[in-house]
Structure 1
Amino acid sequence: MSTTDTQFLEDFAEMSRFGATPGGGVDRQAGTQADHATRKWFGDWLARHGFEETVDDAGNQFGTVELNPGAPYVLVGSHLDSQPLAGRYDGAYGVLAAAYACARVAEEFGAGTQAPAYNLAVVNWFNEEGSRFAPSMMGSSVFTGKMPLESALATTDGGGITVGQALAGGHRRPDGKAPGLASVALYAEIHIEQGRTLEESGTDVGIVHRTWAASKYRVTVDGAQSHTGATRMEDRRDALYGAALVITAARELTAEFEPGLLHTSVSEMNVLPNSPVTVARQVLMNLDLRSPDEDVLARAVALLDKRIIDAAESSRTAIALELTHSWGLVGYQPAGVELGRKSAEHLGFTHADVMTVAGHDSTNLKDAVPTVMLFVPSVEGISHNEAEYTRDDDALRGMELLTEVTRRLARGDLRKENPR
């Protein structure tokens, strides 16, 4: 193992102590003290390795290196925030791998062995997870113009704290020096797969070529508040019962299709009044449908609509679905996918084209600039869980691949052009 590899693993272990949980994971939701402490640690790392740290108005944290004055940036990164009681690798691995990749490539170009076409920048996107502040991928959404900055800063958590207030408690304030979208030519990101495909097939790395299609809803179930004991069963309009029927319907919907063609989930349930002796008057929750086939997703949505009607009738409640996010099968630029493949082949790594089921900041960036997205294996596909794990060999292999990709991007192998 090289000195760089050893240092990477040591740095990753040190970074993982911020927000560490008893179960071996981390809990550093966006804008919390644990998140701020991690960002401070990372800012110090950037300074020690020759990067200039800046933060933009949306809380995105950058480290820049100028190699070609006046040229745009190759931007590389992921996110340091986490879900509650989450794993150490989701997002954070990609940020540190990006930092190491950029530092190594900058050193190579600084030695004069190659002439760079672009400058380099590392990014830690703010609030990718969306657990404390919804929606997810907030920082990259603002960066790419998909979400107004004012809306992001005004977003509140469950306690009424705004994003703006949470960011004000951080280690560094915006100074107007952070890169903007206009100064970014290309983007690359590496992430743990969060699934079992690479591990089960014994494949070293994944080259992401497309996203799954998805439809996300905010579900409101309205019933009538009443006494849990005294109210006759036939008189009850129990919003929690209606919600349970929706949850069951969403799960059972997957059996209507071949295995692997539909994923469904319900999450973040809020029950009112949430009293032990009161029938719920309202339930709010999120419902998520995803598929690698747009026709399957459309049929699933149609079936769900019918089951929602049935659930409302059975529970004597009013159930409303508000579509909050949706997208089809969206591809990454073929030239970027091919660059990822060539990089893996050059290094002798086995590779496969894979689709991403989860959302990542790269899914925002790919709509603005040519983007390369890479995966490394996840043990047993476990993610958003303290048991999340990627083996050291896989993590180091991914860092090496990202370094090769960054090297090729920086020297101009993939020129900025219309991403579509």
Structure 2
Amino acid sequence: MSAETFLADFHHVATIGATPASGVDRQAATAEDKQTRDWFAGFAADHGWEVRVDGIGNMFALLEWTPGAPYVLIGSHLDSQPLGGRFDGAYGVIAGLHAAERVDLRVAEALQAGADAPRHNLAVVNWFNEEGGRFAPSIMGSSVFAGLMDESRMLAVKDLAGTTVAEALEAIGYLGTDARPEVAGYAEIHIEQGRILEREGLALGAVDYSWYTQKLDIEVLGEQSHTGATAMADRHDALVAASKVVLLVHDVTGKFEEEALVSSVGQLTLEPNSPIVVARRVHLVADLRSASPEIVRQARASLLEDIAAIAREHDIRINVNDFDIRDIQYYPEDGLELTEKVAANLGLGIRRIRTMAGHDSVAMNRIVPTVMMFIPSVDGVSHCEREFTTDADMVAGLDALSGVAWEMVNGALIGAESAEHDAGVLASGPAVSGAVAAGAGAR
């Protein structure tokens, strides 16, 4: 129940998959991920809570006070990026477990005093493969739960070594078959992964909307040849062309106002990846994000035109496919007001804030009233070992999550869900749209 116990648990979990530079490497369904999952299950068992694992590897710790009532779900994810930070995701799960412990004690005290049982039950979740570092796309577990991704297709997704999601989960003992809990609402707390709260000296952010996201799956197809024996004029080097594509993705942001668009290529693989062979194939993923869907669409159109020119220049083929398109999501006004009320009661400074990154809450907000909260990130650094948030800020966030969870199990936000929630959430874009092929025929 104490802040000290929470911090001890947090710092213990940070030793699982720890890296020399104070980060963690716990990619989805690895041995290190299994260790954190075992810890989660052990925490729940020690408290007498039921544990379920569903068909995509999501874990749930269930607290039931009102038989048959749906659950308020709180939590985040325990998997990390390669050489990632120890706060991203894991903080939200561990805070969720400790918030549930606090709410459980408060419910017991209220029942003993003669109060009615809460309107809703409570569950803590550890979502599978939020990061997407090993298996793409990201936000997989919560998206399957929300019906946004097909479970069988996601189980068949392979990592770079050819291992499927199903095989990886089965290997660590977490390919479950349990029923998913009926959910009435969702709350998540996370590090900001930006500098706004730190700069303004605020303890808490209430997330009001998410940015529009568009990813491009790009395949550059050249011709394999000898690096020493092939004349330069006779080469169809996929890697040279791909390097120009990477620069295009970076430079496209300069066509818009500063900070209106962010873009990157974070993953690139090449074949045959030999030091004496000209690359025949390069696969990369481009990520475009903005608060304006129109800016993303303009950037995409610009990239397609320029990529086609590169394909013609190098006499190769470049295939571009849209995937993982996420429309802007607006979080319920009642949830923002609830978070602000809890923060005021705790004496915490708070502001409304948008999220540029994707989170499990973005998927859950499509199906139930959802609250998303941020705590400060030092220097705004994330997805690297230098990621850091102070103990004091983590404890303040735990207090806020505990307050929000208590209010939600007693009917706050959920009773007024619907018209306002449905109106605030934009419809999902297509998971995959058409392909664009440029340049010469495939070799």
TM-score norm. by structure 2 comes to 0.90
Map of 2:83 onto structure 1: 85
**Alignment match, 1:96:** 94
Is 1:380 the counterpart of 2:382? The answer is no
Cross-structure match for 1:389: 388
In structure 2, what is the Cα distance between the partners aligned to 1:173 and 1:29?
A: 16
**Residues 175-227 of structure 1: CA distance to partner in whole angstroms, max 9, x if unpaired?**
53x433xx110000001111111112222111111110111010011111122
Higher mean C-alpha deviation, range 5-14 or range 321-330:
321-330
Flag as ranges the 4+ runs of structure 1 deviating above 6 A: none
In the alignment, the residues of structure 2 paired with residue 222 and residue 400 of structure 1 have an alpha-carbon distance, to the nearest angstrom, of 53
- The residue that corresponds to 1:76 in the other structure is 74
Q: Does structure 1 retain, via aligned residues, the 8 Å contact 2:13–2:36?
A: yes
Tell me whether 381-390 or 292-301 shows the greater mean CA deviation: 292-301
Q: What residue number does 2:333 align with?
A: 334
| Whole-angstrom CA distance in 1 between matches of 2:405 and 2:35 | 28
Deviates more, 1:81-90 or 1:306-315: 306-315
Within 1, Cα distance between the matches of 2:11 and 2:136?
Answer: 29
Give the direction of change, closer, same or farther, for the CA distance of 1:222–1:39 in structure 2 (3 Å limit): same
- Which residue identity lines up with residue 331 of structure 2 in the other structure? Y
Kindly report which structure 2 residues correspond to 1:102-141, keeping only aligned pairs within 5 A, or say none.
102-112=100-110, 115=116, 116-141=118-143
**Alignment of structure 1 residues 140-289 onto 2, 5 Å:** 140-171=142-173, 174=176, 176=178, 178-180=179-181, 183-289=182-288
Paired residue total: 415
User: Which amino acid in 1 is paired with 2:180?
Assistant: P
Query: Are the counterparts in 2 of residues 254 and 264 from structure 1 also a CA contact under 8 Å?
Result: yes
The one-letter code matched in structure 2 to 1:130 is G
Paired position in structure 2 for 1:18: 16
* CA-CA distance at 1:155 after TM superposition: 2.0
**Cα pair 2:224 2:280 within 8 Å, conserved:** yes
- Answer whether contact 2:51 2:60 (CA < 8 A) is retained: yes
Contact 2:56 2:175 in 1 (8 A): no
In structure 1, C-alpha distance between the alignment counterparts of 2:330 and 2:347, rounded to whole Å: 25
Q: Please give the per-residue CA displacement for 1:137-156, whole angstroms capped at 9, x wherever unaligned.
A: 11111111122222222222
In structure 1, give the amino acid aligned to 2:90.
A
Query: For residue 150 of structure 2, what is the amino acid of its counterpart?
Result: P
Cα RMSD after superposing both structures: 1.5
- Paired residues of 1:378 and 1:388 also in contact (CA < 8 A): yes
Give me the whole-angstrom Cα distance separating, in 1, the residues matched to 2:319 and 2:246. 14
Q: Provide the C-alpha distance between the structure 2 equivalents of 1:397 and 1:86, rounded to a whole number of angstroms.
A: 23
Once residues 213 and 175 of structure 1 are traced to their aligned partners in structure 2, the CA distance between those partners, rounded to angstroms, is 34
The percentage of aligned residue pairs carrying the same residue is: 46
- Unaligned runs of at least 5 residues, structure 2: 423-443
Report if aligned partners of 1:238, 1:316 keep a CA contact under 8 Å in 2. no
- Give the alignment partner of residue 62 of structure 2, picking from 50, 53, 64: 64
Q: Note if contact 1:85-1:385 (Cα within 8 Å) is conserved in structure 2.
A: yes
Indicate if the aligned counterparts of 1:8 and 1:100 stay in contact, CA closer than 8 A: yes
SS in 1 for 2:97: helix
Query: For 1:306, what is the secondary structure of its paired residue?
Result: helix
Counterparts of 1:311 and 1:134, CA distance in 2: 26
